Amino acid sequence: MVQAVQRAVQILRELATTGPRLGVTELADRLGVAKPTVHALLRTLEAEGLVVQDRDSSKYQLGPDLLQLGNAYLDTQELRARSLTWANQLATRANEAVWVAVLTDDHVLVVHHAFRPEAAVQILEVGASIPWSTCALGKAIVAFCPAAERERLLAGEPAVLTGASITEREVLAGQLKEILRTGYAVEDQESAIGDAGIASPVFDRSGAVVGAIGVVGPVERVLAQPARQELAVTVRETARNLSRDLGAPRGGGRGPAA
Domain with CATH 3.30.450.40 in the chain: 77-245
How high is the pLDDT of residue 252? 58
CATH of 3-68, one of 2.160.20.10, 1.10.10.10, 3.30.70.20, 1.20.120.530: 1.10.10.10
Residues facing residue 79 across a β-bridge: none
Per-residue model confidence (pLDDT) at position 257: 36
Q: 125-174, pLDDT tens digit by residue?
A: 788 889 999 999 999 999 999 999 999 999 999 999 999 999 999 999 99
In terms of pLDDT, which residue wins out, 122 or 121? 122
pLDDT mean over 189-212 = 96
Percentage of the residues of the chain whose pLDDT score is greater than 70: 92
Mark residue 185 as left, alpha or beta (left: phi above 0; alpha: psi -120 to 50; beta: remaining). beta
> What percent of the chain clears pLDDT 90, i.e. is strictly above it?
60
- pTM of the predicted structure, to 2 decimals: 0.78
Q: Is 114 exposed, middle or buried (0-12, 13-18, 19+ CB in 10 A)?
A: buried
Is the predicted pLDDT of residue 38 greater than 80, yes or no? yes
Task: Provide the total of helices (H) and of strands (E) in the chain, helices listed first.
Answer: 10, 8
Please state, rounded to an integer, the average pLDDT across all residues of the chain: 89
Burial class of residue 5 (count of CB atoms within 10 Å of its CB; 0-12, 13-18, 19+): exposed
The predicted structure's pLDDT at residue 161:
94
CATH architecture observed for domain 77-245: 2-Layer Sandwich (3.30)
Residue type, 257: A
If we measure between CA atoms, which residue out of 126, 200, 190 comes closest to residue 158?
190
CATH 1.10.10.10 domain residues, the chain: 3-68
Q: Rounded CA gap, 238 and 160, in Å?
A: 30
pLDDT digits (tens, 9 = 90+) for 39-56: 899 999 888 888 899 888
pLDDT computed for residue 144 by the predictor: 97
Torsions phi, psi of 128, nearest 5? -65, 140
Average pLDDT over residues 5-21: 84
- Which residue type, as a one-letter code, is found at position 111? V
**Which of 104, 94, 99, 122 has its CA nearest to residue 234?**
94
For residue 258, the model assigns a pLDDT of 32
